[in-house]
Amino acid sequence: MSGFTFTIDGVDVPAQDGQTIMEAADAAGVYIPRLCDHQGLRHQGGCRVCTVKAAGRSFSACTQPATPGLQVENETPHINKLRRDLVEMLFHEGNHLCPICEASGNCELQAMAYRLDMTAPTKFPYLEPSRALDASHPDIALDTNRCISCGRCIRASQDIDRKGIFGYVGRGIRRRVAVDGADLAHTDAQVTDHAISDDVCPVGCIIRKRVGFATPIGERKFDQGLIGHEIEERGDD
């Protein structure tokens, strides 16, 4: 593997052949916002929150290979606006009622909204889909009202757990995550699956029963700091 450098917002970032922009950025302590991408899972490039620009073109940093000398724009006002639009689209596509959600405070969608300053009155309509809750499984519940179609559970179940419990069905605005059975109880899902762990679902869609609301407000994951701060702290070392 040969090394080279490219820049993100003017800062030199070292990279290896075959690395994506995001992989190299993560290693260098430069945070590029993302929702569908997750450590240890295949890259998907679906949420588009990691959109960056170089030479007038835009692409998803999680899938685009880094190349020598590439000058990447990441946290510019323009790109932050695009990302804010995308995150807001996700909020409006599903039913995201933060005050009643047990993922609140640990939710990456919410945390991304904080990071991107999503505080202005909205321009978008709420789509308010009606989606059923699947509480059939003794240990796990699925509330797809909060699903953002990131597909992390699908990839985790397929590639890590080797079970394939989740999958996309339908297309377009009707595309949604479904389970490999009549309901979750009729699958091989176990609460110990990686796909079910609190790490994988970025929102409050996959719920482990009887553990919700255990952490007091103030001590939850994103009460501690903005999303991405762990990666950014790597850069400070």
Closest CB to another protein among 12 and 21? Answer: 21
**Could you report how far apart the first and last alpha carbons of the chain are, in Å?**
25
- Residue 98 C-beta: closest distance to another protein, Å: 4
Reported as type and span, the H/E element at residue 167 is strand 166-169
8 A C-beta contact, residue 63 and residue 43: yes
Closest by CA to 231, choosing from 86, 84, 83, 61, is: 61
- Least separation in angstroms between residue 38's CB and another protein is 16
Which residue, 30 or 153, has its beta carbon nearer to another protein? 153
Nearer to another protein among residue 12 and residue 172 (C-beta): 172
Q: Contact residues for another protein (CB under 8 A)?
A: 43, 45-49, 51, 58, 60, 63-65, 81-82, 85-86, 89-93, 95, 97-101, 104-105, 110, 113-115, 117, 119-128, 130, 145, 149, 164-175, 178-181, 217, 226
Whether residue 91 contacts residue 113, with contact meaning beta carbons closer than 8 Å, is answered with yes
CA atoms within 13 A of residue 206's CA, in its CB half-sphere: 28
3-class SS of residue 176: strand
Alpha carbon distance 69, 178 (integer Å):
42
Considering the complex, what minimum distance in angstroms separates the CB of residue 8 from another protein? Answer: 18
- By C-beta, is 12 or 149 nearer to another protein? 149
Alpha helix positions (H), 1-149: 21-28, 77-93, 108-115
Give the residue with the Cβ less far from another protein, 12 or 214. Answer: 214
What token pair was written down for 150?
């990131």
Closest CA to 152 of 206, 103, 226, 111: 206
Closer Cβ to another protein, 29 or 167, answer by number: 167
Q: How far is the CB of 78 from another protein (least distance, A)?
A: 9
Which of 12, 91 has the CB closer to another protein?
Answer: 91
Closest approach of Cβ 82 to another protein, in Å? 6
Q: How far is the CB of 223 from another protein (least distance, A)?
A: 8
CB of 45 to another protein, least distance (A): 5
With a CB cutoff of 8 Å and minimum separation 6, the contacts of 12 are 5, 6
* 124-134 exposure pattern, b = at least 16 Cβ within 10 A, e = fewer: eeeeeeeeeeb
